[in-house]
Amino acid sequence: MYPSWLTKQAFDFHTQADSWWAASANNPELLAPRLEGDHRAEVAIIGAGYTGLNAALGLAGRHSMDTIVLDAGQPGWGASGRNGGFCSPGGAKLEYPEMVGRWGLETTRQFSQIQQQAIEYVGGLGDNPGIDYERTGTGEYIVSSGPDAHRDALAEAQWMNRSLGLAATALSQPELKERGLFSPLFTGAVHMPHGFGLHPLKYSQGLARAASEAGARIFGHSMVINWRQEGKEHVLETAAGRVRAQRVLLATNGYTPAGVGDPMASRILPVFSNILITRKLTRQELQGQGWLAPELVSDDRALLHYFRLLPDGRFLFGGRGGIGGERAEESAVRQRLEAEFRTLFPAWREVSFDYFWSGLVCMCRDLVFHVGRLPGRSSSWYGLAFHGGGVSMASWSGAALADMIVGCHDSRYPIPGPMLKPLPWMPLPALRPLYLRGAYTWYGLRERLQGNRLVTN
């Protein structure tokens, strides 16, 4: 049912990821009841992450639709409860200049505008007293290394401001140091003013609470094992229950199973991302490294690292994971990430780590997210492939999908044309793990040849 090259542990829906977020959430396992018996709803949603929960909030709240959400784990069990908490421009792995080449400038501008609106949308949700997700920092820094990093950053910021109307700024190494973001390897950066950090599991649980208060019924530990149509009605079966619904939304992203998730399951590429969390760092240790700011930072490599100082003084450091996620591979990934961390932050060479976990992001062939009607099934929709940027964009897409499902024509959550096209086919889907291995090897090699000093593996 789930991709054969991925370890079964990645789909252990009864165990919550052993993450810092679970350890620090007020209510580590928000227990949504298990679906039992027969139920009816106008809309059934498969998956209670940001996509499914924001859709439920919109459907039950704005549109007063009778809505049921089913998750194989608890709300936020998937990537939504275990990510880096970067609420920043998301939804794509494609760079802006490549978007311009593919779609033209106007559509790229629209895309960058909805990236900003998606961040504001999540920011607005944080005003809801029930969604207390610990907002931190302002904007996002993309750091780079090398002798020309500052000059390149200046050119990039100018291009983005001129072409996309952004308010990006370029920073030199001394300027980064002044802002409390020092590593000897970061010789330049672009600062994007949009974005903030949040506690991803508290955000997921707050969303589940808000959607329930709006009237949605949310069920946990209720994996959909069969989806069939009887006339105009959809029937979703779990081990202990059944939901009959007029419309269905598939919101399972990197955890999409074959069968229930067809025909999209073979078009996506689930990819591991891993996170390390240090022990609490003292003020002296933070000053010793010159890292004092709570800002979102990632490096400019294709296989990027993402990192940020958390409110209690721990440091979050994330990067690419393995291919299949087996135990031996996970421990090699951990060693590599720890070594990379020590290279980037030499003053913290001796610092130990309290948490390490992984989760699945969802990629696809054209490197952008897609939402719309599910081909081959009537009155069904999907929202998938948010790449490494679903905190903002999966949330926005969930809100957009709520409007699409009820047929609202003047949605406040517009989606640009290329993202409304069907998720593209993946050629020979059985070869996906090989494609991924090839991509990792190629990007690593290319960055080495380019002399990128942030490449440590």
Ligand X SMILES: Cc1cc2nc3c(=O)[nH]c(=O)nc-3n(C[C@H](O)[C@H](O)[C@H](O)COP(=O)(O)OP(=O)(O)OC[C@H]3O[C@@H](n4cnc5c(N)ncnc54)[C@H](O)[C@@H]3O)c2cc1C
- Sheet containing 188-192: order of strands: 169-172, 188-192, 140-144, 296-299, 306-309, 315-320, 268-278, 353-364
- CA–CA separation, 354 vs 338, rounded Å? 12
State the residue number with the nearest CB to ligand X: 390
CB of 77 to ligand X, least distance (A): 4
Query: Residues 118, 185, 251, 276: which binds ligand X (CB under 6 A)?
Result: 251
CB of 277 to ligand X, least distance (A): 11
Give the DSSP per-residue string, 283-333. HHHHHHHTB----EEEESSSS--EEEE-TTS-EEEEEE--SS--HHHHHHH
**Footprint of ligand X on 199-238 (CB under 6 A):** 223-224
Nearer CB in complex with ligand X: 73/418: 73
Does residue 390 bind ligand X (CB under 6 A)? yes
CB of 123 to ligand X, least distance (A): 14
Stretch that binds ligand X, among 133-141, 246-254, 339-347, 434-442 (CB under 6 A): 246-254
3-state helix, strand, coil in the chain (%, to 5): 35, 25, 40
**Footprint of ligand X on 79-108 (CB under 6 A):** 79-80, 82-86, 90
Does residue 254 bind ligand X (CB under 6 A)? yes
The encoded tokens of residue 409 equal 């024509």
What single letter denotes the amino acid at residue 214? A
In angstroms, what CA-CA distances link 296 with 140, 192, 247? 5, 10, 38
Residue 25 is inside which H or E element, if any? none
First to last CA, the chain: 33
CB of 351 to ligand X, least distance (A): 20
**Footprint of ligand X on 327-366 (CB under 6 A):** 359-361
CB of 157 to ligand X, least distance (A): 22
In angstroms, what CA-CA distances link 226 with 2, 238, 253, 260, 357? 14, 7, 18, 6, 30
Report which of 147, 88, 103 is spatially closest to residue 386, judged by C-alpha positions.
Answer: 88
Does residue 260 bind ligand X (CB under 6 A)? yes
Nearer CB in complex with ligand X: 170/260: 260
* Count of residues near ligand X by CB under 6 A: 45
What single letter denotes the amino acid at residue 226? N
DSSP at 59: I
CB of 53 to ligand X, least distance (A): 7
The encoded tokens of residue 442 equal 């190629």
CB of 406 to ligand X, least distance (A): 20
> 3-state SS of 393-428?
HHHHHHHHHHHHHCCCCCCCCCCCHHHHCCCCCCCC
Query: Residues 273, 278, 289, 452: which binds ligand X (CB under 6 A)?
Result: 273
Does residue 72 bind ligand X (CB under 6 A)? yes
Does residue 115 bind ligand X (CB under 6 A)? no
Does residue 71 bind ligand X (CB under 6 A)? yes
Report which of 80, 184, 182 is spatially closest to residue 141, judged by C-alpha positions.
Answer: 182
Nearer CB in complex with ligand X: 219/347: 219
Does residue 50 bind ligand X (CB under 6 A)? yes
Does residue 3 bind ligand X (CB under 6 A)? no
Q: Pattern of binders to ligand X over 276-315, x per CB under 6 A?
A: ------------------------------x---------
Contact positions vs ligand X (CB under 6 A): 13, 46-52, 70-73, 77-80, 82-86, 90, 223-224, 251-255, 257, 260, 273, 275, 306, 318, 359-361, 386, 388-392, 394
